[in-house]
Amino acid sequence: MLYRHVAEVNAIQFKDKYVGLASGDYTIKLWSFDSEHYLHTFDGHSHGITCIQFDGNIIISGSTIKVFDVHIRKN
């Protein structure tokens, strides 16, 4: 069985022995970095994934990145 992405990989995140690859095919594939074994595919996005971040035992992912300036000027 082929576990490769069918679109470009947009983001890579490492944590301990794991590597997560986020793709334009709307999925994240989780691999064991040490053994190079495929572990799991996470899906559910309706657009290509542009960012991922491990936070403990969860992966946070996003399809769109927005940047806001939080600098507030005092009057």
Give me the pLDDT at residue 1, please.
45
Report which residue type is found at 56: G
Per-residue tokens: 13: 């995140």
Q: What is the pTM of this model?
A: 0.79
Spatial distance between the Cα atoms of 24 and 46, rounded to a whole number of angstroms: 10
| Residue range 31-68, pLDDT digits in tens | 998 888 999 999 989 999 999 999 988 999 998 767 77
* Residue in the structure block whose two tokens are 């053994």: 35
